[in-house]
Structure 1
Amino acid sequence: MNERIPQRIDFRRYTDQGVTLDGSISLEESGTSMPRLNDAVLENTGDIKYHLEFDTDILGNRFMTGQVLAQVVLQCQRCMDNYTLDLNCDLSIAFVQSELAQKQAEESNYDIFWLAKKELIDPRTLLEDELLLALPQIPMHEESEIGKACDVRVTFLEQDDLMADDDSNSHSIEKEQNDTDNPFAILKQLKK
């Protein structure tokens, strides 16, 4: 069903009933309900699409699996130009309220989401967390785009190549400078 995402959900009821949420969060709604994501990116370019399935496994883990998709604009820290990044997050999260439940969920390879005893969850906050974790620490154009969109990297490499050619000449100049700047150069002449 493609409907508006609820503001609060009871994870126990959702996992017991095997609820599936499928839809999108509009650009306007994400602008107000996901402030941390909006602060971390230059622009959110469209709707955030999600597919969430709640369930309980054979070990009693209450979990949510699914996917969230978004497209954001970041600033490349190499060339300082803007670029668009597609975020595609696969979710596998267990809701835990005790250390025993946490250990069991970790052994089942779920990510952990701690809850108080009677806490309701805002799924938009949960999705925002996952999108923030998917952002690169240092935004840069992808390696395949170097030369197309990120001129600084290509120019830097070309300058390195030129410097390698001049490397042999610079060693002899440096040696001459070191000999004249060296305070023991006079002793070298006395030794002769």
Structure 2
Amino acid sequence: MVQVLDTAVANRSPAHAYAGVCTALPLLVGDAQVQLPAFAWRPHPEHYARHELYCSREHGYCVVAMVWAPGQATPLHDHDGSWCVEAVWSGQLEVTHWHLLQADDDTGWRFAQGARQHQRAGDCSGLLASAPYHSVRNPDPQAVAVSIHVYQHRLGQCMVFDPDRNGRHWPRLLPLANDA
């Protein structure tokens, strides 16, 4: 996996590295010789689990496995200025993209819901830093889902946007941890 991703990002602009990972990641998911370690399949009972698999010292990208118990979801969030490519390894996910309409910390942020994608194993999507907002959930009421996320750089935090009943969202910085 590492060699394929290194090739995809080597000596490329962020946009070309993103495109290279978009091409490479579905091939890795479909390759029976590429196996995830046992810890990458462990869900967390209270929230989706994040398991860092690899961070490249040379190229800066980071690979994280996420495990989604039935119904677990993220809030609307960004990726701290990083592009991200995500592929479903097992199960299914629902990814909703959001378009920023207004950013105002005093009166609330406003978003419009964009495309909603229902993804199964092998399906891939991504976000560029220029259009960085989405939410993800496991819609399956019984099965765990596992996804692989390749980020431009290691994410130690992201901005989440908590909705109120008036359609506004309020930004909140969320530290991101690696689940054991």
- Fold match, TM over 0.5? no
* TM-score (structure 2 length as normaliser): 0.24
> Which one has a larger percent helix, Structure 1 or Structure 2?
1
- Give the TM-score, by structure 1 length: 0.22
